[in-house]
Amino acid sequence: MSFDEDKIENEMEKSQRYLQFDLGNESYAIALLNVKEVIPVPETTPLPNAPTYYIGIMNLRGQIISIVDLRKRLKINKKEDAEEAVIIVDFAGVSIGLVVDSINYVLNVATSEITEVPEIRSQVNAQYVQGVHRGQGKLTIMLDLAKALNISEIAGLQKNAA
Amino acid sequence: MEDFEQELKMDFLEEAEDLLSAAESAFLRLEEERDDSDLLNEIFRVAHNLKGTSKAVGFDQMAQLTHIAENLILKLKEGELEVSDSIVSGLLEFKDKVEAMIAGLQDDLNATFDTEAVTQKLEALTLGESSVDEDASIIEENGTQKEVELSNDLPEAECFDEEPISSEEVPDAAMFEGGNNDVEVNDAALESLRELGFDTEEFEAASNEVEAKEESLSFENIEKLPEVKEPAKSEEVAAPVAKKETKKESGQKDESIRVNLSRIDNINNIIGELVILQTVLSQRRYVNIKDELSNKSISMMSKLFKEVQEVAMSLRMLPLKGAFQKMNRIVRDTSKALGKDAKLVMVGEETEVDKTVLERISDPLVHIVRNAVDHGLESDEERVAQGKGKGVIHLKAFHEGSNLAIEVKDNGGGIDHEVIKAKAIEKKIITPSSTLTPNEIIQLIFHPGFSTKEQVTEVSGRGVGMDVVKTNIEALGGQVKVDSKIGEGSTFKILIPLTLAIIEGLVITADQEKFVIPLSQVHELTQVHDTDIEKFTGAAELFKLRGEVMPLFHINKKLGAKVTEKKSNIVVVVKGLERSFGVAVDDVLIQQQIVIKKLGEDLKGKQGIMGSAIMSDGMPSLIVDLFELFKKDLSASKAHKDFKEAQAA
């Protein structure tokens, strides 16, 4: 491996990019690596016997994708005048769309800037939180999407329902 | 670096699989065309390639084994050895071994194998040891095989043991060696020629000439002999044509590249989407779009899109060739194991079919072909006694509408429906008073647990019967039928939809949502009025349709709809394996072709949902499998019925 590659890898380790968005009155972020694209809220087809946070399936350029309301999933009250959007995330080959309140900006965060243990009170269950970032005058919660979504749980719930 | 090496190894294994299947068909062709130097060159190239690359990626064992095989092939190529039955068998055994090694290595890259037996055999063959010695070595080898290789498929190993060593028993193979065997074959051939009204004198002369030049067979004679042989097969006119095609192909290689299937699916997705957008535009032509040029362009575009879509769909299609060539081997091994003289004639191996279908058609086909040789064809003695020629299995593929049709025809004794009937009554499949037509009785061989041959052979009849074949084919949305004439043979006909990606579907609504039901599950649509429905507390509702009582389910309730009030009297009647049932729906919209879209991993395994479809408005709808959806209800209602019957009794 060349010297340059080493250097790049080190830099990658040091800082990561996150997509910052709002859920209710709090600000959250997920790793940009998992984000495929951002789209306006699409028309969806509901799925029978689905949990309430499961909005339905949509047709994203020929691919069928599940849309989940992240606010309902995390039991956060939605913002009143929210300009909703959908973030399409990709997890180990599974694409899921997340409905969130306004999407803000891409955050460049050094790993050292993320506090491990959140000393704040959030509406979100602590197990979904990866860390907290302080910056630009506010707190941003780094969401552990894999845990928050629990893909197998979604699938499991539906299996039971059917 | 390890990742890279692993990737390299996995790539090689995939490539080796291809090389091997090419090798197998070449080996089998070698049996028929023993002096074909092009063929030998091709085989040598494959072996050499395999040896080189396996060595390069560090599979030393495979390299060693291939090296030994290469030595043997080199001797054949140089003319130091002559192709014989035992050599072809040895090569096939070698191919099986390497195939097993590849499979093993794919699971564990560090796996080691016992190659002793095959190595010994190949070495013996290379030294040109006589067949007697070889016989001894086979016995010895069999002993070691049983001890060391538990995983080895025993029946297959036995196929090789029982292989006739003298070439006399295989007239076809001996064709080109000259001598009496030739004349024998030709006599049979000439007889059928006479029947067909051919002037046979010329051919007789040709064969006599061969007899005269028994010792040194010149190239010209080889040219002539196939000529004699081919018209003999003219019952199946297409057969020689197919054969010629194969020959041509070995000369010029089809150029192709390996493309990941997901990429093809991806392009299909995108094109599907384009077509939907195109439809939206087309609908707005002249209404919202006034510009003449735009309107023209839109109509041009629709034509092009249609074409592009067809091309993209065809990317998933592969010729049946691979699956068919496997049958060559099946017929060869099965017939040798049974001591029957059988040959396979293939037609239409270029017929194309969806890759997924191709992968899943192979097993049922193997079963049917094996059965045809084992149960279909009579023993050689019986055939001679009846004045019948050689046992022939015809394998034929063609397109029939939007289906792929495959026929497996044998010229054996046919199926005696009386025997089947007796057996079916004995096995309590039907009652003696049943009034089935002979044809319907024959179809009973697909019934679970039906095997007429008293003696369970190693080749077929290992507990799994034709019912498995039927289940497999039905799982592909296809059907299988058998037609038989006593004394003339049987024909199995398989019909399978060309692609699993498109189904014929019925679009219904339930609680304002559209759902698709595969048309194959819909037996009929009917109206059921409230007065026709009987309700039982705690059990399913029942209704009567032309005297048959069946349970009635509501798709609305099942799919968790909020509104449960009935909107119509429409009931979809589904005919199940054991019993039928009705499903009440809100409305039936249209019957149309549906492109099945896979659901994401997150939705896999959701009961009763087999996929989704994108409707003409671009919105996704769910495709429901009614059998799965109402599986629990069905068993509940059956239990209820059984209980009632028990109570009554």
Using N-to-C axis directions, what is the helix angle for B85-107 and B116-126, rounded to 10°?
Answer: 150
Residue A9 lies in a domain: no
- The C-alpha angle with vertex A125 and arms to A120 and A129, in degrees rounded to 5, equals 70
In the predicted model, residues of chain B with pLDDT beneath 50 are 1, 130-190, 193, 197-200, 203, 210-251, 454-463
For residue A49, the enclosing domain spans 15-161
B265 in contact with chain A, both atoms CB, cutoff 8 A: no
Q: Give the pLDDT of residue B106.
A: 81
Q: Which amino acid is at B420?
A: I
User: What is the four-CA torsion angle of A45, A48, A51, A53, rounded to 10 degrees?
Assistant: 10
Contact B269 A62 (CB under 8 A): yes
Q: Give the pLDDT of residue B611.
A: 85
pLDDT, average across residues A25-31: 89
Contact B600 A47 (CB under 8 A): no
Residue A26 lies in a domain: yes
Q: Give the pLDDT of residue B311.
A: 87
**Residue of chain A minimizing CA distance to B595:** A62
Residue A57 lies in a domain: yes
Structure tokens at A40: 């306006």
Q: Give the A:B interface size as CB pairs under 8 Å.
A: 79
Q: Is the per-residue pLDDT at A40 higher than 90?
A: yes
Confidence of residue A87 (pLDDT cuts 50, 70, 90): very high
Taken in order B373, B374, B379, B382, the sign of the CA dihedral is negative
Residue A7 lies in a domain: no
Residue A25 lies in a domain: yes
Give the separation between CA B467 and CA B473, rounded to whole angstroms: 10
Complex prediction ipTM: 0.73
Specify the pTM.
Answer: 0.54
Give the separation between CA A139 and CA B83, rounded to whole angstroms: 81
Is-contact B545 B582, C-beta < 8 A? yes
Q: Give the pLDDT of residue A21.
A: 92
Give the separation between CA B21 and CA B28, rounded to whole angstroms: 11
Contact A64 B602 (CB under 8 A): no
Q: Give the pLDDT of residue B396.
A: 92
Give the separation between CA A29 and CA A104, rounded to whole angstroms: 10
Q: Give the pLDDT of residue A37.
A: 93
Q: What is the CATH number of the domain that holds A124?
A: 2.40.50.180
Phi first, then psi: what are they for B63, rounded to 5°?
Answer: -65, -45
Give the separation between CA B408 and CA A9, rounded to whole angstroms: 60
- Please give the tally of structural domains in chain A: 1
**Residue of chain A minimizing CA distance to B604:** A155
Q: Please report, for residues A57, A88, B78, B292, B581, the alpha-carbon distance to residue A36 in angstroms, rounded to integers and kept in the order given.
A: 17, 5, 60, 39, 45
Q: Please report, for residues B17, B144, B157, B161, the alpha-carbon distance to residue B141 in angstroms, rounded to integers and kept in the order given.
A: 26, 5, 10, 10
Using N-to-C axis directions, what is the helix angle for B219-232 and B201-212, rounded to 10°?
Answer: 140
A159 in contact with chain B, both atoms CB, cutoff 8 A: yes
**Residue of chain B minimizing CA distance to A154:** B602
Q: What is the DSSP letter of A127?
A: G
Residues 6+ away with beta carbon under 8 Å from B236: B345, B347, B394
Is-contact B495 B404, C-beta < 8 A? yes
Q: Give the pLDDT of residue B158.
A: 40
Contact A64 B597 (CB under 8 A): yes
Give the separation between CA B460 and CA B334, rounded to whole angstroms: 9
Which of A61, A62, A95 comes nearest B600 by C-beta? Answer: A95
Count how many Cα atoms sit within 13 Å of the Cα of residue B382 in the half-sphere of its side chain: 11
Chain A residues within 8 A of B606 when measuring between CB atoms = 155, 158-159, 162
Residue A51 lies in a domain: yes
Residue A30 lies in a domain: yes
Structure tokens at B339: 């001591």
B272 in contact with chain A, both atoms CB, cutoff 8 A: yes
Residue A149 lies in a domain: yes
Give the separation between CA A147 and CA A94, rounded to whole angstroms: 14
Structure tokens at B1: 């670096």
Chain B residues within 8 A of A61 when measuring between CB atoms = 269-270, 273
Of B116, B123, B121, B124, residue with least CA distance to B148: B116
Confidence of residue A97 (pLDDT cuts 50, 70, 90): very high
Contact A155 B604 (CB under 8 A): yes
Of B614, B589, B590, residue with least CA distance to B275: B614
